[in-house]
Structure 1
Amino acid sequence: MTLLELLQLMRKHLKLVILLPIVCALAMGVYSYAFMANTYTASTSMYVLAKQTSTNSDNAANYSNLNASQMLANDVSTLLKSDRIAADTVKNLHLDSLKGYSTKVTSETTSRVITLSVTGTDPDTSAAIANEMASNVSKVAQQVMDVQSVNVIDQAVSPSSPSGPNRSMYIAVALLAGLFVAIAIVVVSDMLNTKVRNADEVEELLGLPVIGRMPAVKGGK
């Protein structure tokens, strides 16, 4: 099937091609606003400070301390995802669990700054979890790692506006999916239609030229 034939089919079934994507987009819009709860993301940033290995202020000592802090930052990022930090946070905040709340830890290899983001349905609880996890990781890191401290740069605050879900994206995807389904229906229905619809198909099937045509006359006798 050529592109021109496809366009002709779509034009022939224009109502389906237009209505089905609109219906899918409307259905997704209703579902996203009625059944998908808003989520809120609270973020806190931390600075990992390693214990000084030398009292000298020369460049070699400073470079060594910087590398050590950067490697420890990666270890602290992994520690933030551990069960111990989660369990301590649940205990200290008197929560049943962290179910429904997702965490994201970002740590660049060239920086000692770690960013922790907590996303959940309650803005206050999301901020409280982020701050408590930052406090807990500082205590644990000092106990089990060669870390002087994990200092909080910016404490998490309760977000005033939701971070998700991205309803516009869902609606756009539903619109495109509806268009794809409509085109698929049109193409499949055309392939399954075995009726001879024009003279070109007669010539192709019989291998004989068409020498005459009888026009359709509406209302005639």
Structure 2
Amino acid sequence: MKKTLNLEDYFRIIERYLTMIIAIMLFFGSLAAFSTALFMPPQYEAHTEILVSQSQETEGVSEQDSNSSPPMINTYREVIKSQAVLDEVVKNLNLERSTVVLANQITVDNQDQSQVVTVTVTDLHPKNAETITNEIAGVFRESVHEVMNVDNVSILTAANVGDEPSPVSPRPLFNITIGMLLGGLLGLGIAFFRTFFDKRITTDKEVEEVLDLPVLGTIANFDIQKGD
């Protein structure tokens, strides 16, 4: 029997399987909370802002244009995450990680038409993130003059995570919400799947639709119990 469902039927299906849908939502929400707590350790971030400028004007190009243009900013980004700079950082701090791993912890951003570069380091320990960020800024300031002949690098804001830093990830509430939404969608899918492929006739309306005949009467279901 092919079933066509209207809006009223959809609400009826949801009402019929509401307990199952809620149970699946709670299960997926609990699974997301468990996974977040067990498999996603807290991550902390530290930020520093570096001002990169040049005392001399490039021929035909003003100081602001030459240093804040996208190619130059991209060059600063590459220098900060270069192996030469990161090798020095690993050596100075005696880090037990490779430069490849360290590079994956670093994010370098820049606002449009700005000479300020923001360096962000993510780490499992907040103080490590702060120390690494400040060391990167210091090594970059020393290296960029030799690499790019830029002789005016200032650290505007040193990294400082504070006394009680808050992790930036994971976000338990967000993960639980996503888990419950996925559970709700799965529950709805199961409910509509079972309804669509259920070939049984259970209501007067379905009898009329299948046989194209009016229902003249129904027989009630009596629960007859045998006496002792």
TM-score by length of 1: 0.86
* Structure 1 residue ranges (4+ consecutive) displaced by more than 6 angstroms after TM superposition: none
Cα offset for 1:200? 3.1
- The answer as to 2:177 corresponding to 1:179 is no
Following the alignment from structure 2 to structure 1, what is the Cα–Cα distance between the partners of residues 46 and 215? 77
Deviations 1:18-64, CA, capped at 9 Å, x for gaps: 2211121122122222332111100001000213138xxxxxx9x81
Residues 211, 130 of structure 1: alpha-carbon distance in 2 compared, 3 angstrom cutoff: closer
Q: How many residues align?
A: 214
- Secondary structure at 1:153's aligned position in 2? strand
Is the contact made by 2:204 and 2:215 (CA closer than 8 Å) also made in structure 1?
Answer: no
Q: Distance in 2 between matches of 1:144 and 1:196?
A: 80
Q: What's the CA shift string for 1:164-184, capped at 9, x where partnerless?
A: 211111011011111111101
One-letter amino acid matched to 2:62: S
RMSD value, Cα: 2.4
Residue in structure 1 matched with residue 149 of structure 2 by the alignment: 146
How far did residue 220 of structure 1 move? 5.2
How many percent of aligned residue pairs carry the same amino acid? Answer: 23
Aligned counterpart, 1:88: 88
Whole-angstrom distance in 2 between the partners of 1:87 and 1:216: 84
Q: CA deviation at 1:121?
A: 0.4
Report if the CA contact (8 A) 2:207-2:215 is conserved.
no
Q: Deviations over 1:58-115 (max 9, x none)?
A: xxx9x81111221334421232232332222222211132537621111123111111
Residue in structure 2 matched with residue 36 of structure 1 by the alignment = 40
- Within a 5 Å distance, the mapping from 1:45-64 to structure 2 comes to 45-53=49-57, 64=62
**In the TM superposition, what is the alpha-carbon distance from 1:119 to its structure 2 partner?**
0.8
Per mean C-alpha deviation after superposition, the further-off stretch among 96-105 and 169-178 is 96-105
**Matching residue's letter, 2:80:** L
Q: Which ranges in structure 1 are unaligned for 5 or more consecutive residues?
A: 55-60
Given that 1:142 and 1:148 are in contact with CA atoms closer than 8 Å, whether structure 2 keeps it comes out as yes
Please say if residues 48 and 73 of structure 1, whose CA atoms lie closer than 8 Å, have aligned partners that are also in contact.
Answer: no
Counterpart of 1:4? 8
Partner of 2:65: 67
What SS does structure 2 have at the residue aligned with 1:42?
A: strand
**Cα deviation 1:126-158 (Å, max 9, x = unaligned):** 111111111222222111213113211111124
Q: Which moved more, 1:163-172 or 1:192-201?
A: 192-201
CA distance in 1, matches of 2:221, 2:182: 41
Contact 2:208–2:215, Cα closer than 8 Å, also in 1? no
1:58 corresponds to which residue?
none
Displacement of 1:187 in angstroms is 0.7
Once the two structures are overlaid, the 10-residue window that deviates more, 66-75 or 139-148, is 66-75
User: Does the CA-based 8 Å contact 2:48-2:118 persist in structure 1?
Assistant: yes
Write the letter of the residue equivalent to 2:222.
K
Counterpart Cα distance in 1 of 2:63 and 2:213: 89
